[in-house]
Structure 1
Amino acid sequence: MTEPRTEVPPLDCRTKALFLDFDGTLVDIAPTPDAVIIPADLGSLLARLNTALGGALAIVSGRSLNELESFLRGFDGIMVGSHGSEARGMTPPLDRLPEGLESAQTEMRDYATSRGLLYEHKSMGGAIHFRALPDAGPEVEAFIERLAITNPRFEVQPAKMAFELRPAGFSKDGALQILSDQPDFRNRSPIYIGDDTTDEPALAWAETHGGFGIKVGDGKTRASQHLPDPAAVLDWLRAGLEH
């Protein structure tokens, strides 16, 4: 991994395909997942970008699809949720709930409640956040790893101050590979924008498939480009429309 450059090339809507993470990329990280503040014009901005890009725009997030839809009203383009295991605007990658999902979610919820941690329910998995108790990170990781061993249809997904359980075999870079074969995305060079460890495989995928990744915030990354925060991402997107 390297320190990315800070001067990001302008967005050329005629030749690029654009893939956007949500938390930490389009909106600031909030103390709890349901407390994010959505910019008033975000849905309309994405809708205009989708038109300018000829439909080659997709939201690719670890969030559940129903949450993305509720947060991004006004945008009717492609959304990929739950780290690639559910989607809108394309054939759903996973067309049924994974076996053992409910019992795993119950275990995660009970564990988090008993230790004063935050459990985040997801339609295809779940997450335990330890932002309020940073020292609990190693214990949470060990618990999630044990849970994945007893539930082989799931994998551990590290995130910012959290560990998740997600369906095995799905990932954000896998979603980009599938989307790149869709007619609207074909023959366009990819740009992926994301902020944390869950985004690194997708950032690397864009770098190795004729495009580039943009890392949002600090830290080592496989992306060649950098923007400091979601406000800068939105400014870059708006400038792309003008360009």
Structure 2
Amino acid sequence: MYYEMIGFHGEAQDEPLTDEIECPDLSKATLFLDLDGTLVDLAPTPDGIQVAPDLGELLGLLYERTEGRTVIISGRAIEDAAQYLQGFGGPMIGGHGAQERLVDGTIKRHELADETTVQRLGDMADSFAATHPGLLCERKPTGVVLHFRKDESLAAPAYAFLRALSETHRGFDLHHSKMAYELRPAGIGKDVSMRKMMQQDGFAGTRPIFFGDDVTDEPALQWVAAQGGIAVKIGEGETAAQARLEDPSSARRTLRRWTQKEH
């Protein structure tokens, strides 16, 4: 029902869930992994997620097997995502592509959003959420999110409010997410960031793999599939991915199996 409401229609319909996915040669691959809903279960609030005790070790193994090409790609700001992934020093993409953490730890921010405008959008969204108990405002370095996980009846007013802001603030687009709506700078997307990274030295010529769960991940899933990579949808919903896993624990289990495969 939710996906119908937001108007997303993938190229493939729901298919039976399966843990049996092709085991790739990780030494010739670049692995992109979403965080929320993919590696960890969603929680009522963004700061309420629970990280599996062995996730850090798993990411370390994947980083080793891919020869440094395991990339966390999240809608969260890098600084936020990193606190849940202590010990992972690999590349990260945050804010759906608005930030990039290089291998040396340097964080680059794409200057597509004026800080004053982002601050103003955040202030207005904060005020709106304060008058609607059940809404949660999440401020990001390049935009703002309104979550309605606690009260789905607030989806419509949250959408209307952010839609109005998008129409009065040029350069910002409204995006649908799981139980949330987000304003972020135009021209930013996980698929855009993936294409750029796959052109860099050390990544070019490798096979892209992406695990994602959200409707906002669909353009990237579709792009990876089109490149002959492996696109994996986590959870329910229409998708352009060729494969599907039931939940984050299934995703972690599959990734663990991949690290144990000898090529």
Give TM-score, length-normalised by structure 2: 0.88
* 2:248 aligned with 1:217: no
**What is the number of equivalent residue pairs in this alignment?**
243
Q: Which of the residues 56, 73, 86 maps onto 1:73?
A: 86
1:147 corresponds in structure 2 to 165
Letter in 2 for 1:229: D
Letter in 1 for 2:119: E
Letter in 2 for 1:111: F
Classify the secondary structure of the residue corresponding to 1:104.
helix
Q: Which moved more, 1:5-14 or 1:140-149?
A: 5-14
Q: Which of the residues 98, 105, 108 maps onto 1:92?
A: 108
Deviation at 1:178, TM superposition (A): 0.8
Q: Which of the residues 19, 28, 34 maps onto 2:47?
A: 34
Letter in 1 for 2:82: E
Letter in 2 for 1:26: L
**d(CA) in 1 for partners of 2:139, 2:99:** 15
**d(CA) in 2 for partners of 1:95, 1:65:** 15
1:173 corresponds in structure 2 to 191
Letter in 1 for 2:60: A
Deviation at 1:93, TM superposition (A): 5.0
Q: Which of the residues 147, 150, 153 maps onto 1:132?
A: 150
Letter in 1 for 2:136: L
Identity of aligned residues (%): 37
Give TM-score, length-normalised by structure 1: 0.95
2:205 corresponds in structure 1 to 187
**d(CA) in 1 for partners of 2:168, 2:150:** 28
2:224 corresponds in structure 1 to 206
Letter in 1 for 2:126: R
**d(CA) in 1 for partners of 2:144, 2:194:** 22
1:48 corresponds in structure 2 to 61
Once the two structures are superposed, residues 122-165 of structure 1 have per-residue CA deviations (whole angstroms, 9 ceiling, x without a partner) of 12111111111111112211111111111112111110010011
* Preserved contact between residue 73 and residue 94 of structure 2 (Cα < 8 Å): yes
Once the two structures are superposed, residues 76-109 of structure 1 have per-residue CA deviations (whole angstroms, 9 ceiling, x without a partner) of 0000000101110177251475251100000011
* Preserved contact between residue 127 and residue 163 of structure 1 (Cα < 8 Å): yes
**d(CA) in 1 for partners of 2:72, 2:54:** 16
**d(CA) in 2 for partners of 1:24, 1:135:** 22
Q: Which of the residues 25, 49, 53 maps onto 1:12?
A: 25
1:160 corresponds in structure 2 to 178
Structure-2 change in CA distance of 1:191 and 1:159 (3 Å): same
Gaps of 5+ in 1: none
Letter in 2 for 1:175: S
* 2:70 aligned with 1:57: yes
